[in-house]
Each structure stands twice: as structure tokens, then as C-alpha cells.
Amino acid sequence: MDRINIVNIPFVKTTLDDMAKTLVLHAQRQEKAFVVTANPEIVMKADQDPKYKEAVLTADYITADGIGIVKGAQLLGENLPERVAGFDLFMRLLATANEMEQSVYFLGASDDVLQKTLAVVETEFPNIRIAGSHHGFFDWEDSQIPDEIKREKPDYVFVALGLPRQEQWIASHIDQFDHGVFMGIGGSFDVLAGEVKRAPAFWQKLNLEWFYRLAMQPSRVKRMGALPQFGLRVLRERMKR
Ligand code: UDP
């Protein structure tokens, strides 16, 4: 896959469809893959924290999660076909895992949200084999979770610990596993469990999902600071080029 650099992060030039197909192939061939769906917050965190950046750069695929990244690419004279959001990719992969009766491990969120997520998966994707699950508030020194993944060898491991934890967790554990598609998916369990609503399609089409989320959860305003920072960083890069 072609890649382009935005603020020193190599984004894959891909569509949601193609990315999903590529990952399904990896799962079918029992290969290992690490996916980061990076939004401006992830890019800015990587820019400011070398350790985190190192973890992100070990990913096999970094996709543009958010219209901010797609617009940033345009400003740099590059073209990213579309936004490839973590939640959308997660839903695609669950749907194929269901069709192919593959196994999935669910890691992250509060225990309550996790249990609700598993209940939704059991009803909406009944052919998925749930290889195991664990809530996201655990001791990293405890090897119970990696041991379970090693034993069960799931086709997919979805890690919903938010940034920077999910990328750090995957990067620091993936070497222990033989295969599987590993992906950080932020608050996706909260959305699937019905605890947090995604913006209606209309808002998404207008590229205003970020605004919808801010309106629904005003406490996110601090985190939104990453967006203008990212914009300025891209402008600086453009001037350098
Ligand atoms: N979370 C977790 N462990 C932690 C911190 C957070 O499992 O130590 C979960 C949290 O419960 C939520 C998700 O990680 O389900 C992060 O959600 P957030 O809205 O921050 O993610 P976003 O989609 O905005 O990246």
C-alpha cells in the first residue's frame, strides 16, 4: 500500500473497503497485523511524546481517522482517498468475522460497557467465537490477558483502552503472539454498547462528527485542542516543503 507522511506519520492511502479487505486477508492467512486508526490527537501525541511515537510507528497500517487528517493531506498537496475511522473498520471486521465464524478477543472499557458490548455481539454477530475478553482497567504487570490471547489465538484482538494506552499495549505485547489482527479502537465499545452515540450519518457526511461529539460531551473540549495544534503543525510542514 502507498503511504504518505503527515507530521512524520506514514498514513496508508486506502479506503475503508480496501483496508477491511486487506485485514480480512491477514486474518484468513493467520498473519499478524497491527493497525492504528490515527486522528489528529494521536498525531499530536506522537509528535510530543517520542516513546508513544515509537509505539505507533511499529504499526503495519496507520489509517486516517478523521476529516482533519484528510484535509491535512490536501494542504500538503497529497491525497488520501477517504477517512478510515476506527469504529467503521471495527464494524466491518465484526461483520466478516461473523460470516467466517472467526474468533475475536475484546479488551478494554469498563466492565459494565464490556459486558453490554459482548451481549450486542452475541445477538448481532452470533457466529463470532468470543475468544475471551477483559475490561480495560487492569494491572499491566499481570500476564493473564496475554496468556489468554496466546492460548486462544484469536483472529482479531480489539483493544479499546483509548490513546495512548491502546497503542502502547499492542506495541509492547504483540511480539508474544503468533498471529492475529490487533487494532486500537478508542471508545468503540461504548458506542456499540449504546452508551455513547455516534453522530447521525447526516453530520458525518458534512464532516462534522467532531462537532457533534463536542456538543454531546462538552468535557471533550480540552482534547479538541489537538485539532488546531495539528492544523498549525501541518501548515508549518507545508511551509518547510
Ligand atoms: N479505557 C480503558 N482503560 C483505561 C482508560 C480508558 O479501558 O485505563 C477505556 C474507556 O473506558 C473508553 C475507552 O478506553 O471505553 C476510551 O474512550 P475515548 O472516548 O477516550 O476514546 P476515543 O474514541 O475518543 O479515542
pLDDT in tens, 34-75: 999 999 999 999 999 999 999 999 999 999 999 999 999 999
Among 9-18, 54-63, 189-198, where is mean pLDDT lowest? Answer: 189-198
Question: In this model, does residue 84 exceed pLDDT 90?
Answer: yes
Q: Is 22 in the pocket of ligand 1 (CB under 6 A)?
A: no
Residue 181 has phi, psi (to 5 degrees) of -95, 120
More confident residue, 207 or 183: 183
Residues 227 and 45: their CA atoms lie apart, in Å, by 11
Q: Quick one: pLDDT at residue 17? A: 97
| Average pLDDT of the chain to the nearest whole number | 95
Question: In this model, does residue 140 exceed pLDDT 90?
Answer: yes
Q: Quick one: pLDDT at residue 87? A: 96
Among 9-23, 113-127, 203-217, where is mean pLDDT lowest? Answer: 203-217
Q: Is 42 helix (H, G, I), strand (E, B) or coil?
A: helix
Taken as a whole, the chain contains a residue count of: 241
pLDDT in tens, 196-225: 888 888 888 888 888 888 888 888 888 888
Across the range 164-193, mean pLDDT stands at 97
Q: Is 114 in the pocket of ligand 1 (CB under 6 A)?
A: no
Q: Is 137 in the pocket of ligand 1 (CB under 6 A)?
A: yes
Q: Is 13 in the pocket of ligand 1 (CB under 6 A)?
A: no
Among residues of the chain, what percentage have pLDDT more than 70?
100
Ligand 1 centroid to Cα of residue 188, in Å, is 8
Residues 161 and 166: their CA atoms lie apart, in Å, by 5
pLDDT in tens, 87-108: 999 999 999 999 999 999 999 9
Q: Is 68 in the pocket of ligand 1 (CB under 6 A)?
A: no
Q: Residue 163: which of 93, 62, 29 has the closest Cα?
A: 62
Burial (0-12, 13-18, 19+ Cβ within 10 Å), 201? exposed
Residues 75 and 96: their CA atoms lie apart, in Å, by 35
Q: Quick one: pLDDT at residue 174? A: 98
Residues 163 and 160: their CA atoms lie apart, in Å, by 9
Residues 169 and 34: their CA atoms lie apart, in Å, by 11
Domain boundaries in the chain? 3-232
Is the separation of the CB atoms in 166 and 186 below 8 Å?
A: yes
Pocket perturbation via mutation, ligand 1, pick of 42, 190, 198, 221 by most ligand atoms within 8 A of CB = 190
Q: What is the dihedral of CA 187, 188, 194, 198, to 10 degrees?
A: 90
Residues 174 and 146: their CA atoms lie apart, in Å, by 9
Q: Quick one: pLDDT at residue 184? A: 98
Q: Is 104 in the pocket of ligand 1 (CB under 6 A)?
A: no
